[in-house]
Amino acid sequence: MLEIIRIPVLSDNYIWLVHEPDSGETMVVDPAVADPVLAEAEKRGWTITQIWNTHWHPDHTGGNAAIKEATGCHITGPEAEKERIPTLDTLVKGGDTVRLGNVTAEVIDVPAHTAGHIAFYIADEKTVFVGDTLFAMGCGRLFEGTAEQMFDNMQKLSRLPGDTQVYCAHEYTLSNGEYALVAEPDNQALKERMDAVREAREKGEATVPTTIAQEAATNPFMRAASADELAERRTAKDNF
Ligand code: ZN
Ligand code: FE
């Protein structure tokens, strides 16, 4: 069983520190920064051996160089973004596999937020690291891709088992949910989820990870019936 630790950094980023106890390997997903990650690993007596990047944005790769410098770790990320992530050692694309000790992740192409965005799906652990593609009740902005691509991404992710834990890279849940209530005012599951989210956020608690089943029930982007509907909702949320 993986141990997965949430490290909140910057205003709303989550870095995921992932330990595989059989091999002793420790991996970091999308390190925006280095120091809090190195401190957390040291506190736990873990040595960081790998970094996995989902996309090139600085709030996902900014800590790469310093963590590599401190630990000598190996960095894996999207082949399509290799020019924008000069620290990568291994380049991967959809269908490739990546190993962390005895655990294997499948790479899933999810372009749209950035052109080469990938997700890492660990079926045996019912875990997926989605970066800025899928959020609790939201999806990433379409900076380098189309609504059609994001619609395909949502369809792909929605086919994962419902109890898959979804590790997103930001705490955007409350503002996503406020918009979701406008998009689907009659969605009872959404109303109940928002009550729980408001309570959690008032106490300063994190609302991530989420699950595929929760998103299937409450996420207006995963629930969009067509690329056109997703596009409409994305534009509405951008201006919300
Ligand atoms: Zn991003
Ligand atoms: Fe981000």
Quote the ligand 1 centre to 186 CA distance (angstroms): 31
Secondary structure (DSSP) of 61-105: HTTHHHHHHHH--EEEEEGGGTTT-TT-SEEE-TT-EEEETTEEE
Q: Does the predicted model carry a pTM greater than 0.95? A: yes
Q: Which residues are catalytic?
A: 55, 57, 59-60, 113, 132, 170
Q: Are 210 and 127 in contact (CB under 8 A)?
A: no
Quote the ligand 2 centre to 64 CA distance (angstroms): 15
Quote the ligand 1 centre to 105 CA distance (angstroms): 21
Quote the ligand 1 centre to 58 CA distance (angstroms): 8
**Closest ligand (CA of 170):** 2
**Closest ligand (CA of 169):** 2
Domain 3-238 is of which CATH architecture? Answer: 4-Layer Sandwich (3.60)
Residue pLDDT tens, the chain, 240 long: 999 999 999 999 999 999 999 999 999 999 999 999 999 999 999 999 999 999 999 999 999 999 999 999 999 999 999 999 999 999 999 999 999 999 999 999 999 999 999 999 999 999 999 999 999 999 999 999 999 999 999 999 999 999 999 999 999 999 999 999 999 999 999 999 999 999 999 999 999 999 999 999 999 999 999 999 999 999 999 999
